[in-house]
């Protein structure tokens, strides 16, 4: 029986947002701009940077899709160590989003110097790449709160009377 209550929590809701932004990011990066696709750049660094960005987006999409299925159907039956694995992958992929978005931003800057070329879709891909980075980093916080490494939250009102 699916349990969709996790999607009301930040951890599940952010995964849905990540899924949507990943689709937008890699679709915008794969689009045709300036009469050329990223595959027309030959074997230079531009092609590699576009391919890395698109691969980062596609793998993020697939991971988010898999995690959403796990959240809905298997969350209660998983051992607590899976949260640590998810936290580790999320931290790694946050770094990949930072790296891929930064490299693509540098490439788009170089391409936009070409006269008559206004790569707006590729610029949008860069923006959505950094938005993805923010979402993934935010999810690290909520995943960390789920681990046993996070300190317990205490209520200062429960600590007793304050000294006067």
Do the beta carbons of residue 3 and residue 76 sit within 8 Å? Answer: yes
Confidence of residue 97 (pLDDT cuts 50, 70, 90): very high
Q: How far apart are CA 89 and CA 78, in angstroms?
A: 17
In a domain, 122, yes or no: yes
Name the residue range of residue 80's domain. Answer: 4-151
Q: Is the pLDDT of residue 107 over 60?
A: yes
In a domain, 163, yes or no: no
Do the beta carbons of residue 64 and residue 15 sit within 8 Å? Answer: yes
In a domain, 129, yes or no: yes
Compute the average pLDDT of residues 143-148. 81
Q: Is the pLDDT of residue 125 over 60?
A: yes
- The tally of domains found in the chain comes to 1
Compute the average pLDDT of residues 40-52. 74
In a domain, 158, yes or no: no
Do the beta carbons of residue 60 and residue 69 sit within 8 Å? Answer: no
Compute the average pLDDT of residues 93-121. 84
What integer best gives the mean pLDDT of the chain?
83
Q: Residue 12 has what pLDDT? A: 87
Do the beta carbons of residue 67 and residue 15 sit within 8 Å? Answer: yes
Q: Residue 146 has what pLDDT? A: 79
Residue 128 is encoded by which pair of tokens? 């959505």
In a domain, 78, yes or no: yes
In a domain, 160, yes or no: no
Q: Residue 6 has what pLDDT? A: 83
Q: Residue 91 has what pLDDT? A: 95
With pLDDT > 70 as the criterion, what percentage of the chain qualifies? 79
Compute the average pLDDT of residues 96-101. 96
């Amino acid at each position: 029986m699916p349990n969709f209550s996790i999607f009301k929590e930040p951890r599940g809701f952010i995964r849905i947002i990540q899924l949507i932004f990943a689709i937008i990011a890699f679709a915008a990066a794969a689009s045709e701009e300036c009469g050329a696709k990223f595959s027309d750049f030959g074997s230079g660094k531009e092609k590699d940077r576009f391919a890395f960005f698109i691969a980062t987006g596609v793998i993020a999409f697939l991971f988010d899709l898999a995690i959403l299925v796990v959240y809905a159907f298997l969350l209660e039956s998983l051992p607590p160590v899976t949260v640590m694995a998810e936290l580790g992958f999320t931290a790694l992929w946050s770094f990949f989003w930072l790296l891929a978005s930064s490299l693509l931003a540098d490439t788009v800057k170089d391409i936009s110097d070409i006269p008559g070329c206004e790569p707006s879709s590729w610029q949008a891909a860069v923006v959505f790449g950094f938005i993805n980075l923010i979402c993934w980093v935010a999810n690290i916080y909520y995943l960390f709160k789920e681990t046993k490494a996070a300190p317990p939250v205490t209520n200062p009102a429960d600590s007793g009377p304050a000294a006067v």
